[in-house]
Amino acid sequence: MGAKFTIEGTKLIHEGYVVRSEVLSVRTPEGDLVEREVARHPGAVAVVAVHDDNIVLVSQYRVALDSDLIEIPAGKRDIAGEDPEIAAKRELVEEVGLETDELVQLGTFVTAAGFCDEQIIIYATTTCRKVPRRVEGPEEAHSEVVGVPVAEIGSWLTDGRITDAKTLIGLFWAREQGVVSW
């Protein structure tokens, strides 16, 4: 399936907190050598959480957009060796103050394959209990937990209140897999 490309070299151009940027030397099937910039990301987890008949979301500032965004709880997989399910449970506590013993994996998607290797694993839970939030960083400290009745979430998806890709994908996957219905 597809032509054979071969990565022949990698040059680090930036090592940051969120991503590492590299220039890759790639041999094409015709034998040409081309360069491509790639952002390396550790990946992320996200959770569609249902609590008291509400989809639990978080509204927080996103500097890349210079705006608040409404999202499902999520975070980077930035602890080496941490199981993705454990990371998802940790992020659920940090971002929205919910704890669960049961997560169902809905799927994994690639965010921007044209230039980045980030993959996000999305989970769902309908068995949550409230616990104190353990916020980390200024964006989380100034974020707001938003509960949306399950019956109303469909309108949030279609009227533009939710534009975040992982949130849209997660909520549609949750509906398609029978976790929620609206």
| Domain boundaries, given as residue ranges, for the chain | 6-40, 44-176
Nearest to 37 by CA among 20, 17, 54, 56: 20
Q: Report the side by side order of strands in the sheet with 33-40.
A: 6-15, 20-27, 33-40
The CATH code of the domain at 44-176 is 3.90.79.10
Q: How many helices (H) and strands (E) does the chain have?
A: 4, 12
pLDDT in tens, 125-141: 999 999 999 998 899 99
The active-site residue out of 91, 94, 95, 140 is: 140
Residue 96 has pLDDT above 90, yes or no: yes
pLDDT in tens, 63-75: 999 999 999 999 9
Average pLDDT, rounded, for the chain: 96
91 is catalytic: no
Please tell me the pTM assigned to this model.
Answer: 0.93
